[in-house]
Amino acid sequence: MAAKGDIIIDIERCKGCQVCLDACPKDVLEMSRKVNAKGYQYTVKVNSDCTGCANCAVVCPDAVISVYRVK
């Protein structure tokens, strides 16, 4: 199935709290192995199951995720 949604993660603002991982119904997100300039692991998209539901972006305390969905 073609992906319906996609996200852009502003990795330099991410603090690696992992709240978005719990919120994602499709297990699209995981933590990176690398760290960003602040020394935090950051969220990365690991598959193309994203539906564009925006749950990850809505719970993110630092508003690092932008969400796109095919309309």
Partner 1 sequence: MAEQSIISPENLVYKKTDVMTDRELHYCPGCGHGTAHRVLAEAIEELGIQSETIGVAPVGCSVLAYYYLNVDMQEAAHGRAPAVATGIKRVLPEKYVFTYQGDGDLAAIGTSETIHACNRGENILIVFVNNGIYGMTGGQMAPTTLPGMKSSTCPMGRDVKTMGNPLKITELVAQLPGTHYVTRQSVHTPGNVRKAKRAIRKALEYQKEDKGTCLVEIVSNCPSGWKMNAVDSNKWMEENMLPFYPLGDIKVPGKGLVNGGKDGG
Residues of this chain that bind partner 1 (CB under 8 A): 2-6, 8, 13, 15-19, 21-23, 40, 48, 52, 54-55, 57-63, 65-71
The Cα 27–Cα 11 span in angstroms is 18
Q: Three-state SS for 58? A: helix
* Nearer to partner 1 (CB atom), residue 33 or residue 66: 66
The Cα 58–Cα 26 span in angstroms is 15
Does an H or E element contain 10, and which? Answer: none
Work out how close the CB of 34 gets to partner 1 at its nearest, in angstroms, rounded to a whole number.
17
Work out how close the CB of 16 gets to partner 1 at its nearest, in angstroms, rounded to a whole number.
6
